[in-house]
Amino acid sequence: MTNQRKPRGPYRKSAERREQILQAAYEAIDEYGERASLQDIADRVGVTQPALTYYFPTRDDLLLAVLERRDVLGRELAGGARRDRTMIDSMVAGTRHTTGHPGLTKLCVTLSAAATDPQSPAHGYFNERYRRLTAEVARDLEERQRTGELRADEPADHLARVLLAVLDGLQIQWMHDSTVDMAAIVETFARILAPLAGAGNAEEPAG
Amino acid sequence: MTNQRKPRGPYRKSAERREQILQAAYEAIDEYGERASLQDIADRVGVTQPALTYYFPTRDDLLLAVLERRDVLGRELAGGARRDRTMIDSMVAGTRHTTGHPGLTKLCVTLSAAATDPQSPAHGYFNERYRRLTAEVARDLEERQRTGELRADEPADHLARVLLAVLDGLQIQWMHDSTVDMAAIVETFARILAPLAGAGNAEEPAG
């Protein structure tokens, strides 16, 4: 955010309060998972529960905002990685974020499952989330196909969906058994994918 | 089940009634998903709700039994496939079972997410489910590595976890967007895996 045209006065104060609540909720869920209580979150900011409800009318509204923040941070992580690391390094970074923040991971898995119900308040969010994630990863893969870093004979859209599926699926296995070594399995997966790297580059370090 | 030592009298009657209820629950959930009511299930068998509770004390007990039946049928499908088809054909058959039975798929996704909570009644079931599924698929892959059908330089356990993750992850994407063509994506995935097939078919066996 730039410093120009920063909102002033009551509006800015309201935006700051909303941000404080969101940050407190993010930290409480990171620490205690979905069991984090609204009272605990309100206490962290020093507001009452009704005040909290003014900014986030329902618990679901707050949980979705936390998930959105996790997604934004995740994208920044992947985006930063994209410029100077390989796709697989981004995936490994993703698994480290998952295992380092079990409360947020569990929130994502639970909301996602509930959101498969078209009547869930999160249904639209997850539909859009997967559409956007797939499109972003596919665009990145297409770019790598154009530069010859990746073989161009497989649909980037399918590859993107496989990559996201591996991350989601391993995340579930890890949540059921914390001894599952997601990073090591992603590295095995990377070796399986190596022949996809541009003709002849298979064993060479990618771009 | 053989005909020898078939239980008789009241015990057999009780086992038959339990089986009728389970089959009715399976069909109701296949049709209506988790929204299927206990009353509807009881009506299908012609028993009262309290009678149903005698066989399955809680709704969770009944849902887990339905999931167990789905898993057994899934294993029979995969097992039948294993003998005369490739691993990937089994995966494609799995995706067709998923898309053909959305109610049962949703039950599995929702219970799995809830079961990541150690206090969930389904926690132990899912922990054991993934342990067993991984072991079964890994055993199958090891056998293929022994016969030279698969390259032996990647840990079968990691490969098994990747295969299961792809299926689980695509299942989630499909539940959020029914236009996702799971079978076609699994076929793309199969082509990516092709270099893993027996020595000589790979570009160059990795060290």
Q: Domains, chain B, ranges and CATH?
A: 9-57 (1.10.10.60), 68-196 (1.10.357)
Our CA-based measurement puts residue B162 at a distance from the nearest CA of chain A, in whole angstroms, of: 6
Our CA-based measurement puts residue A34 at a distance from the nearest CA of chain B, in whole angstroms, of: 10
- Select from A135, A202, A137 the least CA-distant residue to A166: A137
How crowded is residue B203: how many other Cβ atoms within 10 Å of its Cβ? Answer: 12
Average pLDDT over residues A115-121: 85
Pairs of residues, one from chain A and one from chain B, whose beta carbons lie less than 8 Å apart: 140
Our CA-based measurement puts residue B99 at a distance from the nearest CA of chain A, in whole angstroms, of: 14
- The pair of structure tokens assigned to B41 is 């299930």
CB-based contact B177 A131, cutoff 8 Å: yes
CB-based contact B168 A164, cutoff 8 Å: no
Task: Map tokens 């499109």 to a residue.
Answer: A135
Q: Does the CB of A180 have a partner CB in chain B at under 8 Å?
A: yes
Q: Does the CB of A113 have a partner CB in chain B at under 8 Å?
A: yes
Q: Does the CB of A201 have a partner CB in chain B at under 8 Å?
A: no
In chain A, alpha helices (H): 9-32, 38-45, 49-55, 59-84, 87-100, 102-114, 123-146, 156-176, 182-193
User: What pLDDT, on the 0 to 100 scale, is given for residue A5?
Assistant: 63
Q: Which residues pair with A197 in a beta bridge?
A: A150
pLDDT surpasses 50 at A28:
yes
User: What pLDDT, on the 0 to 100 scale, is given for residue B202?
Assistant: 39
- Select from A204, A42, A154, A81 the least CA-distant residue to B186: A154
How crowded is residue B59: how many other Cβ atoms within 10 Å of its Cβ? Answer: 16
- Selected residue of B176, B177, B182, B191 to mutate for chain A interface (largest A Cβ count, 10 A): B176
Q: How many helices (H) and strands (E) does chain B have?
A: 9, 0
DSSP conformation class of B35: G
Give residues with Cβ within 8 angstroms of B32, minimum separation 6. Answer: B40, B103
Answer whether B183's CB lies under 8 Å from B98's CB: no
How crowded is residue A146: how many other Cβ atoms within 10 Å of its Cβ? Answer: 11
- The pair of structure tokens assigned to A142 is 């297409």
ipTM: 0.83
Residues of chain B with Cβ-Cβ distance to A63 below 8 Å are none
pLDDT surpasses 50 at A41:
yes
Per-residue pLDDT of chain B (207 residues; tens, 9 = 90+): 445 566 667 778 889 999 999 999 999 999 988 889 999 999 999 999 999 999 999 998 999 999 999 888 777 766 655 555 677 788 888 888 888 998 999 889 888 988 988 888 888 999 999 999 899 889 988 998 898 888 888 999 999 999 999 999 999 999 999 999 999 999 999 888 877 775 444 344 443
Cα separation, B112 vs B38, whole angstroms? 21
Residues of chain A with Cβ-Cβ distance to B160 below 8 Å are none
- Selected residue of A95, A107, A158, A186 to mutate for chain B interface (largest B Cβ count, 10 A): A158
Where residue A161 falls among pLDDT bands split at 50, 70, 90?
A: very high
Alpha carbon A15 to chain centroid, angstroms: 23
CB-based contact A113 B116, cutoff 8 Å: no
Alpha carbon A124 to chain centroid, angstroms: 16
CA angle B188, B190, B194 (to 5 degrees): 120
- Select from A95, A79, A120 the least CA-distant residue to A178: A95
Residues composing chain A:
207
User: What pLDDT, on the 0 to 100 scale, is given for residue A77?
Assistant: 64
